[in-house]
Amino acid sequence: MRTFDNTVKRKLQAGGKVVGAWAQIASPISAEILAEAGFDVVMIDLEHGPGDILTLIAQIQAMKGNPALPFVRAPWNDFVALKRILDAGVYGVLVPYVNTRAEAEAAVRGCKYPPDGIRGIAGSPRAPGYGQNALAYLKRANDEVLVMSAVETPEAVANLDEILAVPGLDGIFIGPMDLSTSMGYFADPSQPEVQAAIATIEAKVLAAGKFLATVAGNWAQAQKLYARGYGLLLVLADGTALAGLAAERVAQFRKEYGS
């Protein structure tokens, strides 16, 4: 069993930059492809993706042998869901829709063993190696598991100072589509008011010594975001990347040869 060593967390804590991709179609094959491509993080999406714990385990198994670390966007800020996700063997968790300090504290507690949290302790699941040298994982998990929460609402922006003060919260993920929609601009983060809110989030997170994370639609946008201080960007998603490429190829065919 390899040492549970979260190299991505260490790099982000040191102010470094990492690159990630979404695994949103519950496919071990696409997760393997993304890991083989060399991403630092493969973010398996259990909030908007169709997967469950068994597909999550299969995706992580498919990544084995690559440096890419499996992270998960949880379906909700629920300590049972967080426990099962972590027991599957992930290195980092993105908790959606965290709007208050109390909710941020609950997210962290759900990811930490006592006395730092309420995560149930067991040596039998996949993460501790099915009982084989389980203490090698159990003793390190509280320090090595990365916890970030999503800012997706005006309430979260208003409470950000208190959220950032929560011990054990490593970073903040900005969800631009949810944030803009909750601010009254449906799926339009380009609005000046939304951009002003994002700038406020960025400044506060960086001042607090936490890392910033978000999505980037293309490499030019990613370069700008890294320059603004972001540590983790998700620059591609398996489903939408395939859909976009497929549509492009079909459009090229139709243009050349018609229907």
Instruction: Say which CATH number the domain at 94 has.
Output: 3.20.20.60
**What is the average per-residue pLDDT within 1-8?**
86
Catalytic residues: 48
Question: How far, in Å, CA of 174 to CA of 96, rounded?
Answer: 10
Question: How far, in Å, CA of 41 to CA of 36, rounded?
Answer: 11
Two structure tokens written together for 252: 């090229």
Question: How far, in Å, CA of 188 to CA of 177, rounded?
Answer: 7
For residue 147, tell me if it sits in a domain: yes
pLDDT of residue 3: 80
**What is the average per-residue pLDDT within 74-86?**
98
Work out whether strand 171-174 and strand 146-151 pair parallel, antiparallel, or are unpaired. Answer: parallel
What is the tally of structural domains in the chain?
Answer: 1
For residue 1, tell me if it sits in a domain: no
- pLDDT-derived band at 2, boundaries 50, 70, 90: low
The beta strand positions in the chain, using DSSP E, are 18-23, 41-45, 69-73, 92-95, 146-151, 171-174, 211-215, 232-237
Domain limits for position 87:
7-257
Tell me the pLDDT tens digit for each residue of 216-242: 999 999 999 999 999 999 999 999 999
pLDDT reading at 187 higher than 90 = yes
For residue 165, tell me if it sits in a domain: yes
For residue 2, tell me if it sits in a domain: no
For residue 247, tell me if it sits in a domain: yes
